[in-house]
Amino acid sequence: MQTSILKNALRASYRFLTVQTLGARFFWIIVSTSLLSAVLYGLVVAKFWGQFVDGATQKVNYGLARELAELVKGTYGADSVREAQEVFSEIADLFPGFDLYLYSDSEKNLISSSRVRSIALDTGPLRAFLASDGKFERPITLPAKPFPHLQRWERYPFSTAPIELGGKEYYLIAILGGSRNVKARAASSGQHLSVFAYYLLASVMFTGCVLLLLVLAVLPSRLRRMSLILKEFEKGDYSRRIKDSSSDELGMYARSFDTMAETIERTMEDLTTQNNLRRTLVADVSHELRRPLTVLNLSLETLIEENARMSEKERKRHLDQALACGENLSRKISDLFELSRLEARTSLPQLHRVDGIELLTEVVRNLDALAKEKHVSVEIAVDTTPFLLNADEVLLEQALSNLLENAIKHSPRGAGIILSVKRQFGKAYISVQDAGAGIPEADLPRIFKRFFKGSTSNPEGGGLGLAIAKRIVELHGSTLVVNSSLGSGSTLSFCLDEC
């Protein structure tokens, strides 16, 4: 049972520390920064503590070698290397804190109390020590390798002084903390390490507490910012976003809110657009359908009231008038719903390859009867080279039909209309040119508005054909352009991408 509880606890702890949660992030930030601080602190202490101790020891014992040289020569009266070795042995028994050596730079001999070693010792530190007169910033040390019984990886502070024995010059070297004091140095180092460990633990705990306070100080600011944005969003500012890219829980909640806010903003925009379209549709229906309905009602009332006194010719005229008004109503209602559907983007273009020549031929063929009725000719001006358009065939056919029908209705009897295509740099420039009365310059900005009827329009004008064509062209990423002047006809053009 206890093993199972322990496993579950370890598994939960592992999930907590490996998943990018806010708590895990706090934990790892505190632990890693605390450990880094502790390591840096340890390196600094380890680097400078030994230097400080060695420097202090060397400064205190700067004149030790000189005093020992006077002791060997004066008190003991030694005048040979052998006599000096005996004195070194006695001194070592009395003072185990340092080792004594003689070094002959000319003979390259290192002499202790018990042996003579032939070794070349670097005398640079010895000369530097003598020249410093006890004033040095850093300790001057000798490597342990030439000296027996010393820890090989350390360097030892020393004191030195010249001494003459048997007519030869020697360096008397006192290694501070010598071979008999190695265990004492190790014990002392252990005590220092224990103290250092206590200070290290205290520094880690202090650093962790400071970091925890900093994290807890940053967290409320993020929550406060999120709260302010939520309040502004609640008041109707749907454009507000938190924009928090962090991978913790707060960042996850912030991204979820931003996604939800974008959805709500798009929905509100769509609702506003549809509401405006609905109002426009109601206004257009009430304004534009009133006259045809009035004429239709009058025709039907006249037929009902005067039917017995009417001749067959009058009766047919009223019926034809009622039929024409009904057809006009049906066309306007259909155009209104089509334009509303296009403006609401509920019918986006389904782009695919469309045969350009075949499409133009089909549009002209469908309006051939109307052209003959108006005694107007339609010419397709395009080379015989096949070309493909990247377009929605149904919508594009509707736009071209509206443009061509508008040109036929506004062209005088016997006029000609040119449906042309010019291809250049991967684009197809399509235009419909008529020979009608033209459009006054003041009316040009308004010809694509709903039910606009210019000063030169014929009685059949004022529909939605141009508005629908303009919207279809815009849905294809292009612009419907009009060029016209009074007495010179009109040209409506746009361009599409070729495949």
Which pLDDT tens digit goes with each residue over 287-307?
556 666 776 777 777 777 777
Residue at which a domain ends, from 169, 187, 205: 187
Q: How far is CA 142 from the centre of its chain?
A: 58
CATH number of the domain that residue 149 is part of:
3.30.450
Does residue 30 lie in a domain region?
no
Q: What is the pLDDT of residue 218?
A: 63
Say how far apart CA 427 and CA 496 lie, in whole Å: 6
Does residue 69 lie in a domain region?
yes
Is the pTM here over 0.75, yes or no?
no
Q: What is the pLDDT of residue 162?
A: 93
> Within 13 A of 220's CA, how many CA atoms are on the CB side?
5
Q: Which long-range contacts (CB under 8 A, 24 or more apart) does 347-350 make?
A: 347/395, 348/475, 349/391, 349/392, 349/395, 349/472, 349/475, 349/476, 350/392
Which pLDDT tens digit goes with each residue over 277-286?
667 656 666 5
Q: What is the pLDDT of residue 395?
A: 86
Which pLDDT tens digit goes with each residue over 380-411?
888 767 888 888 888 888 888 888 888 888 88
Amino acid present at 120: A
Say how far apart CA 490 and CA 499 lie, in whole Å: 29
At residue 196 the predicted structure's pLDDT band, cuts being 50, 70 and 90, is: low
Least confident of 118-122, 223-227, 353-357, 370-374: 223-227
Sign of CA dihedral 252, 255, 259, 264: positive
157 forms beta bridges with 141
Q: Which domain holds residue 129?
A: 61-187
At residue 181 the predicted structure's pLDDT band, cuts being 50, 70 and 90, is: very low
The number of beta carbons lying within 10 Å of the beta carbon of residue 72 is: 23
Bigger pLDDT: 274 vs 262: 262
Residue at which a domain ends, from 143, 170, 187: 187
Determine the average pLDDT of the residues in 86-93.
83
Does residue 19 lie in a domain region?
no
Which pLDDT tens digit goes with each residue over 21-58?
555 566 666 667 767 766 776 666 666 666 777 778 88
Does residue 109 lie in a domain region?
yes
Residue 165 Ramachandran class (φ > 0 left, ψ -120 to 50 alpha, else beta): beta
What does the block give as tokens for 224? 């406060």
CATH number of the domain that residue 365 is part of:
3.30.565.10
User: Among residues 112, 133, 134, 131, which one has the least CA distance to residue 121?
Assistant: 112
Bigger pLDDT: 341 vs 406: 406
Instruction: Tell me: pLDDT of 221 over 70.
Output: yes
Does residue 110 lie in a domain region?
yes
User: Among residues 419, 438, 421, 422, which one has the least CA distance to residue 378?
Assistant: 419
- Of all residues in the chain, the percent with pLDDT exceeding 70 is 72
Say how far apart CA 157 and CA 74 lie, in whole Å: 26
At residue 103 the predicted structure's pLDDT band, cuts being 50, 70 and 90, is: very high
Amino acid present at 279: R
Determine the average pLDDT of the residues in 225-231.
84
Say how far apart CA 458 and CA 145 lie, in whole Å: 117
Could you identify the residue written with the tokens 């006192």?
174
Backbone angles phi, psi at 423, to 5 degrees: -110, 135
Q: What is the DSSP string of 274-327?
A: HHHHHHHHHHHHHHHSHHHHHHHHHHHHHHHHHTTT--HHHHHHHHHHHHHHHH
Question: Which of the given ranges, 88-102, 194-208, 447-461, has the highest pLDDT on average?
Answer: 88-102
User: Among residues 429, 406, 417, which one has the least CA distance to residue 356?
Assistant: 429
- Residue 82 burial (10 A CB sphere; 0-12, 13-18, 19+): exposed
Does residue 406 lie in a domain region?
yes
* 124-163 b/e (C-beta count within 10 Å ≥ 16 → b): ebbeebbeeeeeeeebbbbebeebeebeeeebbbbbbbeb
At residue 80 the predicted structure's pLDDT band, cuts being 50, 70 and 90, is: confident
- Of all residues in the chain, the percent with pLDDT exceeding 90 is 4
The number of beta carbons lying within 10 Å of the beta carbon of residue 433 is: 20
Residue at which a domain ends, from 187, 219, 239: 187
Does residue 210 lie in a domain region?
no
Least confident of 268-272, 450-454, 480-484, 495-499: 450-454
Starting at the earlier edge strand, list the strands of the sheet with 168-176.
116-118, 109-111, 98-104, 168-176, 155-165, 141-143
Give how many domains the chain has, as a whole number: 2
User: Among residues 451, 454, 478, 477, which one has the least CA distance to residue 466?
Assistant: 451
Could you identify the residue written with the tokens 């005398």?
123
Does residue 302 lie in a domain region?
no
Say how far apart CA 234 and CA 240 lie, in whole Å: 10
Say how far apart CA 280 and CA 66 lie, in whole Å: 112
Mean per-residue pLDDT of the chain: 77
Instruction: For the chain, give the number of residues.
Output: 499
Q: Are strands 416-424 and 377-381 parallel, antiparallel or unpaired?
A: parallel
